[in-house]
Structure 1
């Protein structure tokens, strides 16, 4: 649970790097909360109140997850040694699949242009072993 809530602690921090575990735990938490909100809205009869489709709880939850979701996505891209601007691919139909591939890839080992390795891997000490 700590990995899933870590993006809220780094709410609007778009610098540094995030591991796959942090990103995907946050995505899972987001989906579980959204499904719970939709379920609750259906029980209470609140679904369809916003724009004819969404309920107020879903919209509030989406707004609450928006900034930390963008921030953890940018940090995840930084871990793969890519600029955070790649996150804009998510708004283009079908090209968003490229973004999905980037999120699944393992991060670069050792420090890169965006910071230290979040797994604590040091490329210099590993090179000395081999």
Structure 2
């Protein structure tokens, strides 16, 4: 999945916490979100705050779908609120997709 497709998919599925998201979809959206937040942070703190709020729900949704892709529950995303333990999430996010179907659906196409 390329950068533009990943960002469009994540924005379009901003309330879809079901299904699966490929590793490339997650990381391309993460890169786009990081870039937007850096640029808006340089502009003004209010613009940054608005951008962060606008990207919060899509980021949560793609994180849950990424966890589903490796066969984990989306509730593991709550580990992100615990300092140092949230490193486990990074480990989960870099894992390859399960090639077969799992409880969360068919593997992503790209």
Band of TM-score, shorter chain: over 0.9
Alignment of 1:15-34 (within 5 A): 15-34=18-37
Structure label with greater radius of gyration: 1
Unaligned runs of 5+ in 1: 42-54, 121-130
CA distance, structure 1, for counterparts of residue 109 and residue 37 of structure 2: 30
1:96 aligns with 2:86: yes
Q: Deviations over 1:34-53 (max 9, x none)?
A: 11111222xxxxxxxxxxxx
- Would you identify which runs of 4 or more consecutive aligned residues in structure 1 move more than 6 Å? none
CA distance, structure 1, for counterparts of residue 99 and residue 32 of structure 2: 27
- Quote the offset at 1:92 in angstroms: 0.3
Alignment correspondent of 1:116: 106
Paired residues in the alignment total: 107
Highest RCO, 1 vs 2 (Cα 8 Å, sep ≥ 6) = 2
CA distance, structure 2, for counterparts of residue 100 and residue 93 of structure 1: 13
Alignment correspondent of 1:10: 13
Unaligned runs of 5+ in 2: none
Q: Deviations over 1:77-121 (max 9, x none)?
A: 00000000000001000010000100000011110000001137x
CA distance, structure 2, for counterparts of residue 5 and residue 29 of structure 1: 11
CA distance, structure 2, for counterparts of residue 113 and residue 27 of structure 1: 25
Root-mean-square deviation (CA, aligned residues, Å) is: 1.0
TM-score by length of 2: 0.93
TM-score by length of 1: 0.79
